[in-house]
């Protein structure tokens, strides 16, 4: 029994280590192999970029470009009344991890990856009805929400100042990098 418990614990630890780590932040440098990112807390993170690393670019689009049937990833804030208000809307080229769940381990943020079922113009913005297997969510998209389409990217877009949202494995090798254009200089 003891041997079984040790084996089970080893498998659980190995599975936990196999889970990709998510990093969000801003690129501070890239030499063609090592991506340097300042994460959301301001800590430096070094990530290896390989030929097999998938890079996608967040191409800005208008909310009017989104149609029923499109598959979106919507990051939202949950208001005290339970209403969801989007702050990021990403149109995906294909469905990816459909569902609705807490985002970044916070109760006040959610991620909804789903198909647009309907769009209605409201006084507070456009309301999207997002549908996925087992449920649906209504999400208000205000004027200040970031709206983009994910398109194939390339290493030339990994420039200082560009925002990134990436996943890496336990060896700090990037699996997927979502990069946006750097903010314009003020």
Structural domains in the chain? 16-49+158-179 (2.40.50.140), 58-149 (no CATH)
Task: Please write the tens of the pLDDT for every residue from 142-164.
Answer: 989 999 999 999 999 999 999 99
**What does the pLDDT read at residue 13?**
47
CA 147 to chain centre: 13
Within 10 Å of residue 155's Cβ, how many Cβ atoms? 16
**What does the pLDDT read at residue 68?**
93
**What does the pLDDT read at residue 125?**
66
Can you list the residues of the chain whose pLDDT is less than 70? 1-18, 122-125, 185-186
- Decide if 30 contacts 155 (C-beta within 8 A): yes
List the Cα angle 81/85/90 in 5-degree steps. 150
| Closest CA relative to residue 152, chosen from 62, 56, 31 | 56
| Closest CA relative to residue 77, chosen from 110, 106, 125 | 110
Map tokens 């709206």 to a residue: 147
**What does the pLDDT read at residue 7?**
44
| Closest CA relative to residue 175, chosen from 16, 31, 6, 23 | 23
**What does the pLDDT read at residue 124?**
62
DSSP class of residue 83 equals -
Within 10 Å of residue 152's Cβ, how many Cβ atoms? 10
C-alpha to C-alpha distance for 27 and 49, rounded to whole angstroms: 13
Phi and psi at residue 96, to the nearest 5°: -145, 115
| Closest CA relative to residue 142, chosen from 120, 164, 127, 159 | 127
| Closest CA relative to residue 149, chosen from 75, 57, 76 | 57
**What does the pLDDT read at residue 46?**
97
C-alpha to C-alpha distance for 116 and 137, rounded to whole angstroms: 10
**What does the pLDDT read at residue 2?**
55
**What does the pLDDT read at residue 5?**
45
**What does the pLDDT read at residue 14?**
47
């Amino acid at each position: 029994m003891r041997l079984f418990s040790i084996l089970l614990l080893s498998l659980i630890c190995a599975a936990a280590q196999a889970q990709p780590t998510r990093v969000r932040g801003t690129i501070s440098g890239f030499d063609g192999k090592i991506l340097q990112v300042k994460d959301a807390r301001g800590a430096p993170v070094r990530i290896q970029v390989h030929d097999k690393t998938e890079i996608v670019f967040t191409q800005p689009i208008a909310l009017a470009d989104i149609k029923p049937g499109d598959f979106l990833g919507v990051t939202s804030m949950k208001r005290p009344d339970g209403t969801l208000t989007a702050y990021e809307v990403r149109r995906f080229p294909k469905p990816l991890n459909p569902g609705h769940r807490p985002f970044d381990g916070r109760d006040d943020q959610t991620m909804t990856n789903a198909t647009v079922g309907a769009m209605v113009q409201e006084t507070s913005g456009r309301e999207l009805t997002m549908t996925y297997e087992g449920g649906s969510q209504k999400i208000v998209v205000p004027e200040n929400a970031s709206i983009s389409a994910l398109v194939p990217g390339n290493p030339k877009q990994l420039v200082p100042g560009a925002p990134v949202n990436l996943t890496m494995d336990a060896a700090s090798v990037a699996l997927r990098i979502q990069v946006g254009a750097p903010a314009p200089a003020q």
